[in-house]
Structure 1
Amino acid sequence: MSPPKIPTLLLLNRRQKKALLETHGYHVMEGDTESDLDFTIREDVAKGDIKVSDIERAIGS
């Protein structure tokens, strides 16, 4: 089963996605694509490790 679609991810740039993941303990590598970051964020939201409010807060950064 694929992780849920999260429309607010479209509002984040790569730097914001990287920062969001790093605040949750990830080390984002240079070769990680933006779709890799999206997938990881969606998976963690589905598991409850990242809250949608964290994504919304990242939009303002």
Structure 2
Amino acid sequence: MVSMTEREREMVTALCARIADEKNPVVFRQLLIRLDALLEKLNSHQARRTGFEGESMSN
């Protein structure tokens, strides 16, 4: 498994920190959607780098 780059790790960490501190449920949900999209993008990018396109990371 290829690990995240430092930039990718910083992006996920910053978004998680914002989610943890958010009190507004509407904004909280929007941040979760952004995190989901970011993780999907990173998963897709990682699959291309490793040659495992089409395989689920949850297997």
Q: TM-score over 0.5 for the alignment?
A: no
Structure (1/2) with the larger helix percentage: 2
Larger radius of gyration: 2
Instruction: Give the TM-score normalised by structure 1.
Output: 0.34
Instruction: Give the TM-score normalised by structure 2.
Output: 0.35
